[in-house]
Chains A and B, each alone.
Chain A
């Protein structure tokens, strides 16, 4: 998509929300992107734009105004990350099959998202997919005191993690999860540092599968609202 649209005035900026920035390196080096590819160890981007999961995208126009608030953003289908959709659960161990059956209910809309981006690039402010400032703000996620506290705790946690105090970090990240249970970035990054599969560990009270099952995987990403 970037190759197609960059000559027409679009730049893509990718930001890896990884406390452990080196975890993102293999993906970045393999992709060898031509666009700016950044790392955000402190999760500043998700706080500033109101992102609660990945991948999430925002649109910023030529003047530096946000014209679409943060939302699930799948700019195309990646065969590697989508391969789970074609796996047959009956060929897998029961516990793995259980996770797969639920994960296969996750809904994404990559074709629709790309179509929206193309329209924006072609029509700019005349695209029906760009929004005026008041609507951009209204479409952003709610910011409650609890959610703001969660952001503060997560930032304290990442600070301690980078200083080598992993137990101290876990204490703050548990608070972040408790205060903002709808924020998947805080959960998934913390879980991943205990178990790459984000399964149950002693450090946390939940896991990716437990929390996805609780809400139903079909609700993992909210639907695009053009």
Chain B
């Protein structure tokens, strides 16, 4: 997740990473990890460094451009998946129209990644 500061809006965090910060911790579907009180800043945003520490997410800085990237969690299962619940995912078509993967609930979905390369 790209950041221009080390605090993040909880809705934006949830949309990009699947992690929702609640009163008792951070949850991704059926998995929850406790967070300390200082995970939330006074204005309700999330302190990225506290979250990253608890979830084992790397915070990579690009100082030249004043941006950071918060990498995926490593401290939950040690696997690319922290849960078998499919992530919320909205991606555009080639013409820019957004498509929400969850609109296919009720069907079996075979998602295939490919590339021009």
Within 8 A of A (CB), among B64-113: 64-65, 67, 69-74, 77-87, 89, 91-94, 99, 101-102, 104-113
Shortest A1–chain B CB gap in Å is 9
Tell me if A60 is interfacial: C-beta within 8 Å of chain B: yes
When distances are taken between beta carbons in the complex, the residues of chain A under 8 Å from B86 are 58, 60, 64-66
Contact A59 B108 (CB under 8 A): yes
A153–B58 Cα distance when bound, in Å, is 10
Shortest A45–chain B CB gap in Å is 6
Tell me if A117 is interfacial: C-beta within 8 Å of chain B: yes
Give the size category of A's interface with B.
35 or more
Contact B110 A39 (CB under 8 A): no
Tell me if A15 is interfacial: C-beta within 8 Å of chain B: yes
A69–B86 Cα distance when bound, in Å, is 10
Knowing A17-B113, A138-B79, A145-B58 touch, does A9 contact B87 (C-beta < 8 A)?
no
Contact B81 A136 (CB under 8 A): yes
Binds B, one of A46-54, A89-97, A98-106, A213-221: A46-54
Chain B residues proximal to chain A, CB less than 8 Å: 1-2, 16, 18, 56-60, 62, 64-65, 67, 69-74, 77-87, 89, 91-94, 99, 101-102, 104-117
What would be 20 A-B contacts, judged by CB atoms less than 8 Å apart? A9-B108, A10-B107, A11-B110, A13-B104, A13-B112, A14-B112, A16-B115, A36-B93, A36-B99, A39-B91, A47-B72, A59-B111, A65-B85, A66-B85, A69-B81, A121-B108, A133-B83, A140-B81, A145-B74, A156-B2
